[in-house]
Structure 1
Amino acid sequence: MGIVLYALDGCPFCEAVHDALSTAGVDYETHWVDALHSERDEVKRVSGQRAVPVLVDDDHGVTMAESEKILQYIDQTLAQ
């Protein structure tokens, strides 16, 4: 599966992660989530919570939330 970003359209934290992934040249897939937290079952299944953004990196066995942590991970691990 590679890298998957769970994101909400219009979410500034999600946009920051999108921008960082693109700038780093990372290939990834976006799974757009519902605006209602109660409808984010897939996010809860993969991360244990319903907030976004959530990054899943199967190649490194990493699932993480919190945009600042994700941005740091992109910079330190995924940037080419």
Structure 2
Amino acid sequence: MRMSDSQITFYRLQACPYCERVTRKLEEYGLEYRSRFIEPLHSKRNVVKRISGKRTVPAIVDHETGVTMSESANIVEYLESTYGDDGREEAA
């Protein structure tokens, strides 16, 4: 059951190793996501602060479950626990 739009909005920075960790996990599970590249200057990251309460990236909004979170370790853990079993159906 997928929405016609991407189910996850992913707030990230270019060349951010923490963001890349989340990207790899999203792709591993074949999840549809939309990247929103945000302002590199920490004090200008108001869009992320509005959605997650923090100015840190990476941050995701999972529109399917209503979950919003930041911090790469938390996001990876969430993706594994939420999509880990079902997301592997098509993996060879």
3-state SS in 2 of match to 1:56: strand
Q: Work out the CA distance in 1 between the residues paired with 2:19 and 2:67.
A: 18
1:44 Cα deviation (Å)? 0.6
* Residue type at the aligned position of 1:72: E
Q: Which residue of 2 aligns with 1:45?
A: 50
Q: Give structure 2 stretches of 5+ with no counterpart.
A: 88-92
Counting only pairs closer than 5 Å after superposition, residues 1-80 of structure 1 correspond to structure 2 as 2-79=7-84, 80=87
* Residue type at the aligned position of 1:65: S
For normalisation by structure 1, the TM-score amounts to 0.94
Q: Work out the CA distance in 1 between the residues paired with 2:8 and 2:33.
A: 5
Q: Across the two proteins, how many residue pairs are aligned to each other? A: 80
1:39 Cα deviation (Å)? 1.4
RMSD of aligned alpha carbons: 1.0
1:59 Cα deviation (Å)? 1.1
Q: Give structure 1 stretches of 5+ with no counterpart.
A: none
For normalisation by structure 2, the TM-score amounts to 0.82
Larger RCO: Structure 1 or Structure 2 (Cα < 8 Å, ≥ 6 residues apart)?
A: 1
1:34 Cα deviation (Å)? 1.1
Q: Work out the CA distance in 2 between the residues paired with 1:70 and 1:48.
A: 15
Q: Percent identity?
A: 43
Q: Work out the CA distance in 2 between the residues paired with 1:78 and 1:49.
A: 25
3-state SS in 1 of match to 2:80: helix
